[in-house]
A and B are shown apart, each in its own frame.
Chain A
Amino acid sequence: MKKDKNKPAFITKIELIIIAVAIVLPFVFNFSPYFQGLLIFVLIWVILGTSWNLLAGYTGLVSFGHAAYFGIGAYAAALPYYHYHISPWWGLLTGGIAAVILGYLLGIVVFRLRGPYFALGTLATAEILRIIFGEEEWLTNGHSGILYMTTWVSKYPYYFTALILALGAVFSVKFVMRTKAGFYFLSIREDEDAAQALGINTKKYKNISTVISTFWAGMAGAFYMIYMGFIDPEVVFALHNISIITILVGIIGGVGTIWGPALGAVVMVLVQEFFRSSFFGLAPSWISGMHALVFGLLVIFTILYMAGGILGDWDLIRKKLSFLRKAEVSE
């Protein structure tokens, strides 16, 4: 979607359409809070995937421990409630900040690591946090978790809160990638040593990327607490269900593209739910056990055949599809 102008508009037409659809969508599904709930889950994954993408896709710091920031955000919302009955909604202030602080502190340790070591370092820190939050019962209520009677039964307030967060995440990434910092991120991703040699303060820019990324991951966590009303360490610090799925959302949609993770989130939730509900009861029920299998196969397929993800390889996919269409016509 290249334009002839030197600097394209910040918000393109397509993006305006996406936003409009996102605003209307919950009303279309007014008849089913269940579908609305699915939409909210999509948005949570949009936030997380986008946050991860800035760090991994644009800056080359492939985090395998995004659950750490998500979990800290969630507990930042939950702990004041658990101890002092302060509404978890304040987490929308504290969650992001708590995650940023954690991100900065961890950065001191893990930024010394490169490539697979960075991945392992982040993974290990998230796991350590999971264990600590499970064991320190006086602080976190341990594995019993923290329960909060959510504010509304209706999904609308949650949906729009999540939508604002998701748009905030996506557009903050879009914004920063149009600034000088964005170019520095890319240069760090392509060759950190070269970037440093060129006089870029790589540490500073890695930190900037981390701050933005962890902020949104923390916000996603805080929102999760507000919306779900229940967290425990196994849920919010989960290695597979949070850290890994976040990565897969990014991979499927397209690493290093603005809207890729958002698309990945849609695909991931749809695939899971289609199968989990046995195509809403249309297929035999044993299919419901296959959702993780199908998702795994989808991941393998994506990496093998569209390494750039759906959005990253969009031109390629379109070509293939148009070829199919032509073939049909010629028949």
Chain B
Amino acid sequence: MELFLQTLIYGLLIGGLYAVIGIGMTLIMGVLGIINLAHGQIMMVGMYLAWVFWTFMGIDPYLSLFLAVPLVFLLGIFLSKYFLQPLIEKESILPENQVLMTVGIGMVLVELARFIFTSDYKSVETSYSSETIALGNISISLPMLIAFVIAIALTLGLFQLLMKTDLGRSIRATAQDKDAATLMGISSKKITILTYGIGSGLVGAAGILLLPMYYLYPDVGPIFTIKAFVITILGGLGSPIGAIAGGIVLGVAETFGATYISMGYRDAVGLVIFLLVLVFLPGGLKQVLKI
């Protein structure tokens, strides 16, 4: 029973982190209708920024959320404005051209990082990196708990943004029907660019939350890209609440898989769930939860 409880709690915690990685993707997929295969790489950029701030200026990673995330946001704006947006207006045989563009972008980001920082592992060792908090018999790592709390906060914040503000309403309208939104006087172009920026900023934030408990190298991204789209499909496109549900489901399922089946199959658990959801529940958890 104790093992079960521990597994559940660690699954929940890692799920919270997955959720932040997924929220950005769910927005991008919802509004732009593309899979962002540069997602993990953008997260890596955020991590390197935070690492630079920490190493050269001694700025705490959690503080650098306020510095690095806006930078990553700007990077996202830049990428979508000059690399993704032009493709929408262009005629091409495959509608997947934008997806492939993100592949190219991802490759370039990784190689630039390798050029600047080499392939060496970097990590941020703060005083609290390995602090733990006892919860009955279960001890929880502090950075993981912080990540979880911030994840929830970010999700709720984003939910408010989408529901209560004009910007949010425009984003949702664009996600639902681009043409109709344009007719309603929304500049869908602007919204698309902005959404990619927000999505990038969010995944950058996820990377920074991950940094104190993990490490960093140029190829850190791809496994998280895969997690992100699993969560997106699981939670349903464009839904932040769906993403947090999806993230937590993924985290818990993986952790249970790793504990009770085999650690080696950990990554397969999510992918199998993902395929099942794709085929049998195309709307994702959003459809079930009705949000």
Contact = CB atoms under 8 A, between A and B. Distances in A.
Given A109-B279, A112-B279, A117-B282, A303 B100 contact: yes
A247 B100 contact: yes
Given A117-B278, A124-B275, A307-B91, A296 B107 contact: yes
Question: Which label, helix, strand, loop or mixed, suits the secondary structure of the A interface?
Answer: helix
A115 to B, nearest CB: 7
Contacts of A208: none
Interface stretch (B27-35, B57-65, B189-197, B238-246): B27-35
B75 to A, nearest CB: 15
Contacts of A297: 104, 108
14 contacts: A56-B96, A115-B95, A116-B34, A119-B35, A120-B35, A121-B278, A121-B279, A123-B226, A135-B262, A251-B97, A292-B110, A299-B101, A300-B101, A307-B91
B115 A119 contact: no
A35 B96 CA distance: 34
Question: Which label, helix, strand, loop or mixed, suits the secondary structure of the B interface?
Answer: helix
A191 B235 CA distance: 28
A121 B274 CA distance: 8
Nearest to A127: B271
Given A112-B279, A131-B268, A304 B35 contact: no
Given A134-B264, A303-B100, A308 B93 contact: yes
Interface of A: 56-57, 60, 62, 109, 112-113, 115-117, 119-121, 123-125, 127-128, 131-132, 134-135, 189, 239-240, 244, 247-248, 251, 255-256, 289-290, 292-293, 295-297, 299-300, 303-304, 307-308, 312
B87 A290 contact: no
B103 A62 contact: no
Interface string B31-45: 001110100000000
Contact of A303 (B97, B272, B275, B282): B97
Given A119-B96, A135-B262, 4 more contacts: A127-B268, A131-B265, A248-B104, A300-B105
Of A57, A124, A128, A290, chain B has the most CB atoms within 10 Å of the CB of A124
B29 A290 contact: no
Shortest 9 CB-CB contacts between residues of A and residues of B: A296-B107, A293-B111, A299-B104, A307-B92, A296-B108, A300-B104, A131-B268, A135-B264, A62-B96
A123 B225 CA distance: 12
Nearest to A301: B104
Interface of B: 29, 33-35, 37, 83, 86-87, 90-97, 99-101, 103-108, 110-112, 114-115, 222, 226, 229-230, 233, 262, 264-265, 267-268, 271-272, 274-275, 278-279, 282
A109 B95 contact: no
A251 B101 CA distance: 10
Contact of A289 (B33, B115, B233): B115
Contacts of B268: 127-128, 131-132
Contacts of A256: 93
B97 A307 contact: yes
Contacts of B92: 307-308
B222 A240 contact: yes
Contacts of A295: 107
Contacts of A307: 87, 90-93, 97
B107 A292 contact: yes
Nearest to B111: A293
